[in-house]
Amino acid sequence: MDFRLAPEQQQFRDSVLKFSQKELSAGALARAHDPQYPWDVAKKMAKQGLLGITIPEADGGQGGTLMDAVLAIEAVASACPRSADVIQAGNFGPIRVLAEYGSSFQKQSFLKRLLTGEAVIAVGMTEPEAGSAVTDLATKATRDGKGWRINGSKIFTTHSAYADLILAYVRFGPGVGGIGSVLIEKNLPGFRLGRKSHFMSGEEWAELHFDNVLVPEEMVLLGEGGFKKQIAGFNVERIGNAARSLALGRYAFEQARAWALQRKQFGKLLAEFQGLQWKFADMKLKLEAAQLLLYRAAANADRGLPSPEETALAKMACNQAGFDVASESLQVMGATGYSQDTLVEYCLRRCRGWMIAGGSVEILKNRVAESIFDRTFPQRGG
C-alpha cells in the first residue's frame, strides 16, 4: 500500500493546477455569484482535455481514471470553486452514465457537444412525491407505436434551466424493476420548463414537465430493469459530489489559514491563539480523514464502477467535513468570512446542499447500516 500519488498523477494534478491558476483564479468571486453556467470555462476546459477524463478515447474522452477526475476537481476548486462544477458536469454526472450504457447512436448524437463544452446534460430523478424514496417516481413511459409517450414532472434538477438534454428516470412498469431511463431533448413537443427557482447556493433550477412527449425507441437509455445499473453509474456522480465538498472545505480552510497569519487582535496574530490553533487542527483532521476515504473509493473504482459502500462512506465523510470545515473557517475569519467579499460563505452554502443532493447523508447511513448488519432494512411501511 502506498498513500502517495504516482508520479504521473502528481504531474497531471500540477498541470491542472497551473491551468486553473492562470485561467480561472481571476474571475472566481464573480463566477460564484453568477447563477448562469460558466460556458466560457467549459470551453477552456474542453480544450485542456478536462472534460471526459474517464470516458474512453474511442468515445471522444481522455481514457483516464476516476482518480484523475477527482484530482482535477481538487486542483480546479483550489483556484475557482464554482469551476469545479464544470469538471463534475463533464466527467461525473449523467454524461458518465451515457458513456457507460448508451448505444453507439446515442453516444454519437450527444457526446461530442457535451465534451466540447457546448452543452450539458441534466439528470431528472427527483419528483414532488419521490425524493429520498426515488423508486416511488411516477413519470410514466407508455408504448406508442415504435416509441414511448412520457408523462410526468421533475424538480430540483441541476442544470435544468439551460441543459438541452435530460436523462430522465421513468417508469415503464410497476415496482423497482419497472424503472428505466430515456434521453429527452428539450425541443420535443410537450416538453415544458415550469417555475424557476434558486438553491441556497444561487444555482438556478426549473421544474421539468413532460406532457405526452413522444420519445423514439432509440432514445431509451436503459429500459425496464435498468434501475440497478443506473444507480451503479450514479455512484460515480456521488464521488464527484464528495470531491467537491472536500475541495470547497479545503478552499475555505486555506483562506482561513492565510487570514490567521495576517489578522492581528489583542496585538497578536490570530494564529497565535490556542483556541484557534485547535480549530485548525480539528479541521485538518476532518479534511485528511475524508480524503483518505475518497481516494480509496476512487482508486478502487478504477477497476470498474465504485463500490456502493466505499462511495457511501466517502460521500458521508466528505459532505460532513466540507460543511464543518467551511463553517469553522468562516468563524475564524469573523465578519470577513461572513461577507460576500470572500468565497468562504459561498463554500459553506455549496457544501450544505451536497449533504442533501445525490443521496442525503441519512440515506447513505442507511446504506452503510445494511452493510454492517448484512441485511436490508426496508424503509417503507409502519
Ligand X SMILES: Cc1cc2nc3c(=O)[nH]c(=O)nc-3n(C[C@H](O)[C@H](O)[C@H](O)COP(=O)(O)OP(=O)(O)OC[C@H]3O[C@@H](n4cnc5c(N)ncnc54)[C@H](O)[C@@H]3O)c2cc1C
**Which residues here bind ligand X, judged by CB under 6 A?**
123-126, 131-132, 156-158, 199, 353, 356-357, 360, 362-363, 366, 379
CB 183 within 8 A of CB 166: yes
Q: What is the number of other CB atoms lying within 10 angstroms of the CB of residue 288?
A: 12
Give 15 or 197: the residue with its C-beta nearer to ligand X.
197
Give the shortest CB-355-to-ligand X separation in angstroms. Answer: 8
Q: Distance (Å, rounded) from C-alpha 255 to C-alpha 216? A: 51
Give the shortest CB-213-to-ligand X separation in angstroms. Answer: 17
How would you classify the pairing of strands 121-124 and 264-265? unpaired
Give the shortest CB-361-to-ligand X separation in angstroms. Answer: 7
CB 357 within 8 A of CB 269: no
Q: Tell me the sheet residues that pair with 171.
A: 140, 179
Give the shortest CB-363-to-ligand X separation in angstroms. Answer: 5
Give the shortest CB-73-to-ligand X separation in angstroms. Answer: 16
Q: Distance (Å, rounded) from C-alpha 316 to C-alpha 371? A: 15
Coil, helix or strand for 150? Answer: strand
Give 48 or 366: the residue with its C-beta nearer to ligand X.
366
Give the shortest CB-64-to-ligand X separation in angstroms. Answer: 24
Coil, helix or strand for 277? Answer: helix
Give the shortest CB-366-to-ligand X separation in angstroms. Answer: 5
Q: Which residues contact 16 (CB under 8 A, 6 or more apart)?
A: 48, 50, 71, 72, 75, 76
First to last CA, the chain: 46
Give 85 or 310: the residue with its C-beta nearer to ligand X.
85
Give 144 or 362: the residue with its C-beta nearer to ligand X.
362
CB 160 within 8 A of CB 166: yes
Give 154 or 279: the residue with its C-beta nearer to ligand X.
154
Quick one: cell of 49? 482535455
Helix ranges, the chain (H): 7-23, 28-32, 39-47, 66-79, 84-91, 94-101, 104-115, 227-260, 274-301, 308-332, 334-338, 344-354, 361-373
Give 30 or 200: the residue with its C-beta nearer to ligand X.
200
Give 71 or 97: the residue with its C-beta nearer to ligand X.
97
Give the shortest CB-243-to-ligand X separation in angstroms. Answer: 15
Give the shortest CB-267-to-ligand X separation in angstroms. Answer: 43
Give the shortest CB-247-to-ligand X separation in angstroms. Answer: 16
CB 178 within 8 A of CB 171: yes
Q: Distance (Å, rounded) from C-alpha 360 to C-alpha 367? A: 11
Q: Which residues contact 214 (CB under 8 A, 6 or more apart)?
A: 144, 147, 148, 149, 150, 188, 189, 190
Give 193 or 285: the residue with its C-beta nearer to ligand X.
193
Nearest residue to the partner ligand X, using Cβ: 131
Quick one: cell of 36? 448562469
Q: Tell me the sheet residues that pair with 142.
A: 149
Give 185 or 370: the residue with its C-beta nearer to ligand X.
370
Give 123 or 206: the residue with its C-beta nearer to ligand X.
123
Coil, helix or strand for 204? Answer: strand
